[in-house]
Amino acid sequence: MDFSLSEEQNMIYDYGQSLVKSYDRKYWMECADAGRFPEEMYKQVAADGFVGTMVPEAYGGAGLGLLEMDLFLEGLSNQGIPLLSLVIGATMSMAPIGDHGTEEQKQKYLPDACSGKTRFCFAITESGAGTNTIQATTIAKQTPDGRFKLSGNKTFITDFVESDYALVVARTTPHTEVERKTDGFTLFIVDTKAKGVAANKIPVSIPIPEIQYEVFFDDVDLGPEHVLGEVGKGFNILFESLNPERVLVGSICTGIGRYAMERAVEYANDRVVFNGPIGAYQALQHPLAKAKTEIELASLMTRKAAWLFDRGEACGGESNMAKYAAAEAALHAVDASLQCFGGNGFTKEYGIFDIYPMVRLFKTAPLNSEMILNYIGEYVLGLPRSY
């Protein structure tokens, strides 16, 4: 692996520095406090060509890879403006359509999505299944005329109401009737305003502009044109979405952790208590130095996982390790930074504590650290399955 970045990749990484001149952390937090999606920022990002980073050029995208999306999201997060919708919509939904969609689907959905005219979300989690997606019960029953009736519910679906389409993970064969547990999954492109679709907002105690929903499907009418890939063989496409999700959550964690530390370093150099700047005291210096080391190591792992993904190589272990390491590193970085600010860290004026709930979320979601360690133990180390 070549650790150097091309001129284009460096420009992608540095894009956040220009974006914050118009849409900075203050704007992002105003949107978060108001429970409003940062529409203006998103449209600017789309106009600059980054929403379609992983979409083929023929359909309005940039035709680039996960490594470039990793660099882009980390660069944004370095400035304190993580954009989760680019994980869920642009990467987990639009990229699979570009890879597995029919020509008609690509033409219909991707150009408008790349331009920011429409938005996608991703619907997989169910309250009854949780991390055990195999036991998902949302089902699309095929009718005699070859259409489908989608019924069931999903939970913690990010920006469902604000999106135009959802890539929905459903079963076309119940898990009790399949030969292999991964059989019987089908992915559907669903209009979020279709008849039979309803959603309730889930209030969360995390200052982010994206909104969470519980979603209900009641005999939603779908045709073959809504199926992404093959009926009953959607698990492979799903798997292709989950590794990038892990990587890009790692990108956000490393960036936002770095943002917090840079704020802390600036404060620690200026704040004078007793005999000099508090940054001279090892009790503050060492936790920040340790966190900096952890952040940079996690950043390298996200890049390695993205690089492997773009080469078509196995990257499950690296993707999971990247997400785990980055979530832990971000927590340590924000905690060390918060300690530097003392009481000021808990004020709205300085905005440091506002970062903590988000990075703590990533220890639990989109896959909790315990399940990631289970994966690493079983599939990387070769230990017996623990659950």
Q: Mean per-residue pLDDT for 148-157?
A: 97
The verdict on residue 2 lying in a domain is no
Instruction: Say yes or no to pLDDT of 187 above 90.
Output: yes
Q: Mean per-residue pLDDT for 272-289?
A: 95
Q: Which domain holds residue 59?
A: 7-118
Residues 6+ apart with CB under 8 A from 107: 59
The verdict on residue 385 lying in a domain is no
Listed residues 80, 98, 118: the one ending a domain: 118
Our count of domains for the chain comes to 3
- The CATH number of the domain holding residue 252 is 1.20.140.10
Q: What is the mean pLDDT of the chain?
A: 96
- Do residues 169 and 64 both lie within one domain? no
- Do residues 330 and 343 both lie within one domain? yes
Dist. CA 319–CA 316, nearest whole Å: 5
Condensed to tens digits (0 to 9), the pLDDT of residues 4-23 reads: 999 999 999 999 999 999 99
Q: Mean per-residue pLDDT for 231-252?
A: 93
User: Do 280 and 102 meet the contact criterion of CB atoms below 8 Å apart?
Assistant: no
Listed residues 103, 118, 133: the one ending a domain: 118
Condensed to tens digits (0 to 9), the pLDDT of residues 60-118 reads: 999 999 999 999 999 999 999 999 989 988 899 999 999 999 999 999 999 999 999 99
- Do residues 18 and 101 both lie within one domain? yes
- Do residues 257 and 286 both lie within one domain? yes
Instruction: Say yes or no to pLDDT of 174 above 80.
Output: yes
- Do residues 246 and 374 both lie within one domain? yes
- Do residues 52 and 136 both lie within one domain? no
- Do residues 24 and 141 both lie within one domain? no
Dist. CA 189–CA 120, nearest whole Å: 9
What phi and psi, each to the nearest 5 degrees, are found at residue 271? -75, 120
Condensed to tens digits (0 to 9), the pLDDT of residues 317-347 reads: 999 999 999 999 999 999 999 999 999 999 9
Predicted TM-score (pTM) of the model is: 0.96
What phi and psi, each to the nearest 5 degrees, are found at residue 120? -115, 155
- The CATH number of the domain holding residue 49 is 1.10.540.10
What phi and psi, each to the nearest 5 degrees, are found at residue 226? -95, -5
- Do residues 267 and 372 both lie within one domain? yes
- The CATH number of the domain holding residue 179 is 2.40.110.10
Instruction: Say yes or no to pLDDT of 147 above 90.
Output: yes
Q: Mean per-residue pLDDT for 152-179?
A: 95
Condensed to tens digits (0 to 9), the pLDDT of residues 367-386 reads: 999 999 999 999 999 999 98
The verdict on residue 386 lying in a domain is no
User: Which of the four pLDDT bands, split at 50, 70 and 90, describes residue 131?
Assistant: confident
- Do residues 287 and 331 both lie within one domain? yes
Listed residues 67, 98, 118: the one ending a domain: 118
